[in-house]
Amino acid sequence: MSSTLTMPATQLLSPEEKKRKSYRRLIFLTWFLTLDLIMFGAFVRLTDSGLGCPDWPGCYGMVTPIGALADIRAAEQAMPDGPVTIPKAWIEMIHRYAGALLGLMMIGFTVMAWRSRNIIGRTPWLPTFTLLAVCVQGAFGAWTVTLKLMPIIVTIHLLGGMALMALMTWLAAREKQHTPINPANKRYSPWVGFGLVLLFMQVGLGGWVSTNYAALACMDFPTCNGAWIPKMDLVNGFSLVRGLGELPSGEAISQSALVGIHWVHRNFAWVIFAYLGTLAWRLRSDPGLRGPCHLIFALLFAQLITGLTAIFFQWPLLVSVLHIAGAAGLTIAVVTLLVRVYGIRPAKVSQAENLQFA
């Protein structure tokens, strides 16, 4: 009996349990890197580093900015206030390196999902779809550079990152044990799904604000430039196919168009607050749903604080990154809630695996 108690936890696991454990660890590690990459992508955008290397996938044809120093310095001398500098080149390339690592990790767990599907006990199609999604996301990353930060492409790239976060959260949430929920609450799954749709709409509006540099179009709150309904040009503000800072005609985008972009994002936030807040309040009494519901409450409050701070302090970098992180956190919370309400079967974990994770 004593020899069993002193045996290392890894020796208590069967080969099948070790494979399941390795798969789960890779899923959770990839989930964490996805969240980090979303936040770093916001940092790239907010430091205007998206064109730090104006070609793709390398930097002036080189694997690292070290080999492109001469080209970078020449571009910086020709346009000192332009988008190409050595720090911005490194920021952009580190983002690309992290994206490549994320793709490799997704290849890894997809291969494991197919090879060990009987042991893991899950269909491999969700990991496969996630791998395809990251390939599409990589393509939009390339187009973001080659199309010179075209607003619609940058916004879709942000939405793609949040979609990857949702898929990885789905994969991770079904591998985690949780308290069983009240079966009567499963009827709320369409309502939670609709809440996720609304959240993605708000993320898209936030991306549209950021990529059009409309964050400071309204400098007061709760009014916008002293009016509840300010003068704004919604038609041109939400014209989708156009270059950065331009109208479809090629003219510079007007201030009234930027005000319209900001005003719509700001006011749609109240829809998100009301809907997700009410939904979380209704489901919070279920022990199996209490965790994600409380997280939704906390993140809604945090989003309000960071949004107001960004306005009153003129969009400081840290606050802006935290605002994007809050949107990713809400995505995680709502998807986790959806997985539990929908009734996805949690992974079976043996006693030996529980001992090792403890």
- For 48-59, what is the HEC assignment? CCCCCCCCCCCE
The angle, 0 to 180 degrees and rounded to 10, between the axes of the packed helices 69-78 and 86-115 is 130
CA–CA separation, 211 vs 26, rounded Å?
33
Tokens standing for 249? Answer: 């005609």
Distances in Å between the Cα of 188 and the Cα atoms of 182, 183, 198, 337 are 11, 10, 15, 10
| Whole-structure pTM value | 0.89
Question: Catalytic site residues?
Answer: 92
Per-residue confidence (pLDDT) for residue 180, from 0 to 100: 86
- Is residue 49 a contact partner of residue 92, using CB atoms and an 8 Å limit? yes
pLDDT by residue, tens only, the chain of 358 residues: 444 444 454 567 788 888 888 999 999 999 999 999 999 999 998 898 999 999 999 999 999 999 999 999 999 999 988 889 999 999 999 999 999 999 999 999 999 999 988 888 888 999 999 999 999 999 999 999 999 899 999 999 999 999 999 999 999 998 887 788 888 999 999 999 999 999 999 999 999 999 999 988 988 888 999 999 999 999 999 999 999 999 888 899 999 999 999 999 999 999 999 999 999 999 999 999 999 999 999 999 999 999 888 777 776 788 888 999 999 999 999 999 999 998 765 555 554 444 343 3
Half-sphere exposure of 199 (CA within 13 A, CB side): 29
Beta strands in the chain (DSSP E): none
CA–CA separation, 353 vs 148, rounded Å?
49
Per-residue confidence (pLDDT) for residue 81, from 0 to 100: 82
Residue with tokens 């491999």: 124
Residue 228 phi, psi (nearest 5)? -70, -40
**Residue among 200, 195, 167 at smallest CA distance from 35:** 167
CA–CA separation, 174 vs 108, rounded Å?
18
DSSP 8-state code for residue 246 = B
Residue with tokens 């005000």: 259
**Residue among 65, 46, 73 at smallest CA distance from 215:** 46
Q: What is the largest CA-CA distance in the chain?
A: 81
Please name every residue paired with 158 in a beta bridge, in sequence order, or none if there are none: none
Per-residue confidence (pLDDT) for residue 11, from 0 to 100: 60
Tokens standing for 43? Answer: 């940092």
CA–CA separation, 72 vs 81, rounded Å?
13
Residue with tokens 């809630």: 337
**Residue among 263, 272, 264 at smallest CA distance from 299:** 272
Tell me if residue 229 falls in helix, strand or coil: coil
**Residue among 136, 163, 150 at smallest CA distance from 240:** 150
Q: How far apart are the first and last CA of the chain?
A: 20
The angle, 0 to 180 degrees and rounded to 10, between the axes of the packed helices 125-146 and 151-173 is 160
List the chain domain ranges.
15-176, 179-347
Would you call 76 exposed, middle or buried from its count of C-beta atoms within 10 A (0-12, 13-18, 19+)? middle
Peptide bond into 57 cis (omega under 30): yes
Please name every residue paired with 224 in a beta bridge, in sequence order, or none if there are none: 227
Tokens standing for 285? Answer: 């009494």
Per-residue confidence (pLDDT) for residue 18, from 0 to 100: 85
Per-residue confidence (pLDDT) for residue 5, from 0 to 100: 46
